[in-house]
Structure 1
Amino acid sequence: MYTGVVPGTGRVTASETAGAGHELRIETNGHVDPQPGDSVSVDGVCLTATAVGPGWFEAYCSDETVDRTLLAERPVGAPVNLEPPLTLSDGLDGHLVRGCVETTTELLAAASTGEGWRYEFAIPDGFAGLLVEKGGVAVDGVSLTVAALAADRFAVAVIPETRERTTLSEREPGDRVHLEADPVAKYVARQESVA
């Protein structure tokens, strides 16, 4: 479990197919310090550290992770958001993020709004019912608030601190990102579908 308050970014330093899955090595830049078996959020995807060293860790992506996420497509050198797991003594500054990415989407627009930024993303099929204006959404693991909602897109407002600490500063229109809905929205949608 995570909060979506990303302390900083690392980089992919190795990426290779491993059977039906994929193996990654991530340079941490000091933002996480996992032990083997620990969980780490990488661009919003909960991964398990399988090997660690000074300033890096390795993780295996299952075929399910490869199918649902963009991690196997991130090239060597690509920046990735990193977040350690939430502990019971931590404050909950963002919203609860499970690290279970539902889908990916495209960044449609990114524009400065004076001090902050506004990012617009396409709403993928089946995801619209999980979004609500002023509700939470995780984009590449970053906890954000839906500022505006239309039939085919949603917008978030990003403060300079969040933009600079995360890969949002490097994303451009046309780039693809991970999406995870607020867990509460998923349970409500499920209840409505079986009622």
Structure 2
Amino acid sequence: MFTGIIEEIGSVKSVQPGAQSMTLTIAASTVLADVQLGDSIAVNGVCLTVKKFSKEQFSADVMPETVSSTSLQQLKVGSRVNLERALAANGRFGGHFVTGHVDSVAIIREKRTVDNALYIRLALPEQYSPYLLPKGSIALDGTSLTIFDVNETDITISLIPHSQEMTVIAKKSLGDVVNFECDMLAKYVENMLKRRDAKEQPLTEDFLQQHGFK
């Protein structure tokens, strides 16, 4: 479990492609302070497992499904990535619940500066529109952000100066893709409602006759 509060920006040192998978080696410092084999580190919002590390870098395998459904497939040597360790039990919860299980990718459509804020408009696949609402939460490249505006399947987020400096999304260009993870709580609520509705039998003439109504 993560919070979406990015701890540092790392740099990709190597990308070793497999047939459909890949292995990433990423230079970092903060997230390696107490790292152990098997620890979880979110890389641009994708939960990866540390398989090897030193004082300056760590390596993680990326399975085929993750390669095909996230922006990690576009990483190359020198790419900058958001990094966050899994939430410690005694840590502050500054963002929102982020699982590191990316839903899909969004495309940057517009960037504009308003005073000290950077507004970024992104297009998301239509099936995720039920989870998007103004003032709701979303994780973009692992960064916990508040949705500023929703227009059909487009959302706009606003980055304060600190977020512009401490995350990678501000440096991305129009047309670039961004990993996104919708609010986990919204997905659970939708799933519960679907299950409830599926169990409820519609009120038909046959239903009434079966229950003694003539």
TM bracket (short chain): over 0.9
| 1:32-70, Cα deviation, whole Å (9 max, x unpaired) | 112211100000000000100121000000111112111
- Percent identity reads 31
2:212 aligned residue: none
Q: Report the RMSD for the aligned CA atoms in angstroms.
A: 1.1
Instruction: State which drifts further: 134-143 or 111-120.
Output: 111-120
Q: Distance in 2 between matches of 1:113 and 1:21?
A: 41
1:11 aligned residue: 11
State yes or no: 1:46 paired with 2:47. Answer: yes
Q: Secondary structure at the match of 2:30?
A: coil
Q: Distance in 2 between matches of 1:78 and 1:67?
A: 18
Q: Distance in 1 between matches of 2:107 and 2:2?
A: 23
Q: Secondary structure at the match of 2:127?
A: coil
1:32 aligned residue: 31
Q: Secondary structure at the match of 2:133?
A: coil
Q: Distance in 2 between matches of 1:123 and 1:48?
A: 27
Q: Distance in 2 between matches of 1:111 and 1:14?
A: 33
* Within-5 A mapping of 1:1-195: 1-28=1-28, 30-33=29-32, 34-194=35-195, 195=197
| 1:73-106, Cα deviation, whole Å (9 max, x unpaired) | 2111100000011011111111110000000010
> How many residues are treated as equivalent by the alignment?
194
Q: Distance in 1 between matches of 2:68 and 2:189?
A: 25
Amino acid at match of 1:17: P
2:207 aligned residue: none
* Richer in helix (by share): 2
| 1:115-145, Cα deviation, whole Å (9 max, x unpaired) | 1111110021311111111110000000000
Q: Distance in 1 between matches of 2:83 and 2:170?
A: 15
Q: Distance in 2 between matches of 1:131 and 1:190?
A: 15
Q: Structure 1: which 5+ residue stretches go unaligned?
A: none
CA contact (8 A) 1:10 1:31 kept: no
Q: Distance in 2 between matches of 1:6 and 1:42?
A: 10
Question: Scaled by the length of structure 2, what TM-score is found?
Answer: 0.88
Question: Scaled by the length of structure 1, what TM-score is found?
Answer: 0.96
CA contact (8 A) 2:12 2:76 kept: yes
